[in-house]
Amino acid sequence: MKNSEIADVFDQLADVLEFKGEMVFKVNSYRKAARTLRDTSEDIAVVAAENRLANLPGIGKSTAEKIQEYLKTGKIKKYEEERKGLSDELISMLQIPGMGPKSLALIHSRLKIDTFAALEDAIHSGRLAELPGMGEKKGENILKGIQLLREASKRIPLGVALPIAEQVLDEVRKFKSVRRAELAGSLRRMRETIGDIDILASASDHKKAIEAFAALPQVKRVLAAGTTKASVIVQGNQQIDLRVVDEECFGAALQYFTGSKEHNIKLRDIAKGLGLKINEYGVFRGDKKVGGKEEKEIYEAIGLQWMPPEIREDRGEIEAAKEGSLPALVTSKQIKGDLHVHSNFSDGRATLEQLAEQAEALGYKYIAVTDHSQSLKIARGLTPERVEQKGKEIQKINSKLKSLKLLLGTELDILGDGGLDYPDKLLEKFDWVVASIHSGFKQPREKITRRITSAMENPFVDCIAHPTGRLIGQRSPYEVDVEELLAVAAKTGTAIEINANYDRLDLDDIWCKRAKELGVKLAIGTDAHHLDHMNMIRLGVAVARRGWLEATDILNTLPLKKLRQKR
Ligand SMILES: [Zn+2]
Ligand SMILES: [Zn+2]
C-alpha cells in the first residue's frame, strides 16, 4: 500500500510551503490530505482506480490529481518544484521536533544556516538566542529535538516494523526450499523500536531461498545477496536481512540471533562452567554436538527452562529460569476487552456500532468507549449533555448485543491546576474513567506529579492513561516522578495504563516490571481513534510481557463482572 508513502510527501510539501511562508489554508490542505491517507485503511491505489478519491474527507480535486500523479510516476511535480534550491539537509531539518518551519525559515534567512552542524554551533555560541522570539530555552528544545531525531532515524517503532516484517515472513515461509522461518533479533523480542528486521530460515537449498527472497515484489533494492545471507530494502526504506541455515542448526541460530547480547553472554558463561560451548550452530561438548535443532535444547543443555524472547534482556530471567520461577506471561488470547477507545462522539472516526462490531470480531467481552471530556475542545470533548446522550445510545446498542458490552467511559482531562474536567456527580455515572494529561507538559516535576496523584485520589478515576506522555522518537516524557505515581497507585488502587498505540507504549516495559513489584494493576488500552488501531492491542501485550506481567496483573483479563467489582 502506498498510503503512508504519499502521506509523507504531502506532509513534506506542507513543511516546505510553510517554510516558504505560503498561506496557511494551502499548507493545511496538504496536512489534512496526509492525515486522511494515513487514516484510510483501504488501499489508496484501489480507491483511485475506482475514482473514489474525492469521496475521502480533505481530498479536493487538486490533491486527488497529485495522488493519481504519484501512483503513476512515483513523484509529485509540485513538491519537486517547491523544494528546488533547498538542500536535502535543510529540508530534513524540518523534521526536528520542536523546531517548526517558521523558526527554521528565520534561522535560515538570518544566520544562513543549512546544516545540522551549523545549527548546533549557533545554539552553543548563543547566536540563535539573539534572534527575535528565540531565546535560550528554544535553543535547548531544538537541541533535544535533534537528539530525538537522531535516535528515531536509526530505529523504527515496533508497530511500523512488525506488519512489514510479518508480510515478508509469510512470503518466505511459502518458498519451496524453506522448511522453517521466524523473525529474530530485537523484533522477536518485541522491543519498542527496531533497527533492522531480521528473518531466519532453514532451507534445503540455501541459494534458492536467497534468490527467491531477493526476487520478492516487496523488495525495492538488493544491498547484498550471498550464499547464506541477503540484505534488501523494502518500502519505507526499511532494511530486511534474511539468514539461511541448515535445519539441524535452526534452534541454535534462532536462539543466537534473537539475543539480546547481554542475555547470550550470560548463557555462554554458564555453558563454559559446565564444560559446554554454545554458538549459532549448536551446543557442543568438545567436538560432539549435543543439541541445536530446537531452541529449547540450548536452554535445557545448561539446566534452564526455555523462556519467551520478550524477557531475554538479562533482567533476572536467567536466575528465575534456574529456580524454575519464570512468570507465566500474559497472552493476547487472555485479553477480554479494550479499555481505551474513542468514538465519533469525540475525535474518533468510528461510530459506537462500528466499534461494537470490531470488538466482537476481536472476540472481546467489553470495550470502554472513553471519549474526551469537555475542556479538550480540539478533540471535541463531550459536554455533560452529550455524555447523557451517549449513555442512552450505548444502552440501546447494548440491549441488542449478545456477548459484548459497551462501557460508558471517558478520558477525563486532568486540568492544568490539577482539577478534574467533570464533577463527581457526573463521574459516578461512568462505567470506566481514564484520567490523563493533555496540557501543561512544561510544568515542573512536582506539579505534574501532583496533578496526576490527586486525580488518583478521586474514587471515580479507574486508571491513569499514557502516564508519562512520551511519543517515541518525537516527544520526551513530561517531567513526572513515575516511582511516586506507582506508589500512590498502589495505595489508591488506581490502575495504570499500558497505552498500546505504537507511538506511545506508555507505561513502558521497565516501569511495568516495577509496577508489578509494587502491586499496581495495569490496564491495556489501544487509544484507538480508528477501527484499525484496535489491532494494536498486541503491542500493549508485548510491552506487558517484556515487563514480566502475568494475566493477574492486568485488569482487562478479567471477566466484566469481576472488572466491575474492582471499581
Ligand atoms: Zn489522551
Ligand atoms: Zn485517548
Measured in Å, residue 370 CA sits from the centre of ligand 1 at 10
- Fold of domain 332-565: TIM Barrel (3.20.20)
CA of 347 to the centre of ligand 2 (A): 9
- The conformational region for residue 451 under phi > 0 = left, psi -120 to 50 = alpha, else beta, is alpha
Cell for 565? Answer: 467489582
Burial of 108 (C-beta count, 10 Å sphere; 0-12/13-18/19+):
middle
Superfamily (CATH H level) for 157-245: Beta Polymerase, domain 2 (3.30.460.10)
CA–centroid distance, 527 to ligand 1, in Å, is 7
Mean pLDDT by 10 residues, the chain (567 residues): 85 90 88 86 86 88 94 92 87 85 91 91 92 88 86 82 95 97 98 94 96 94 90 86 97 97 96 96 96 97 97 96 96 98 96 97 98 93 97 98 97 96 97 96 94 97 97 88 97 98 96 97 97 96 98 98 87
Q: What pLDDT is recorded for position 152?
A: 67
What separation in Å is there between the alpha carbon of 117 and the centre of ligand 1? Answer: 36
Return the pLDDT at 193: 92
Where in the sequence of the chain do the CATH 1.10.150.110 domains occur? 3-153
CA of 407 to the centre of ligand 2 (A): 15
Ligand 2 centre distance from Cα of residue 4 (Å): 22
Position 24 scores a pLDDT of 84
**pLDDT for residue 88:** 78
Residues of the chain with CATH 3.30.210.10: 250-323
Give alpha helix (H) positions in 401-481. 424-427, 445-457
Domain 3-153 CATH (choose: 3.40.1110.10, 3.60.9.10, 1.10.150.110, 3.30.390.50)? 1.10.150.110
Query: According to the model, what pLDDT value does residue 156 have?
Result: 86
Separation of 35 CA from ligand 1 center, angstroms? 18
**What CATH number should be reported for the domain whose range is 250-323?**
3.30.210.10
Query: Which pairs from 435-439 meet CB under 8 Å and 24+ separation?
Result: 435/411, 435/461, 435/463, 435/464, 435/465, 436/411, 436/412, 436/464, 436/465, 436/466, 436/467, 437/413, 437/469, 437/478, 438/376, 438/379, 438/413, 439/413, 439/415
- The residues of the chain that CATH labels 3.30.460.10 are 157-245
pLDDT at 87: 84
The ipTM (two decimal places) reads 0.96
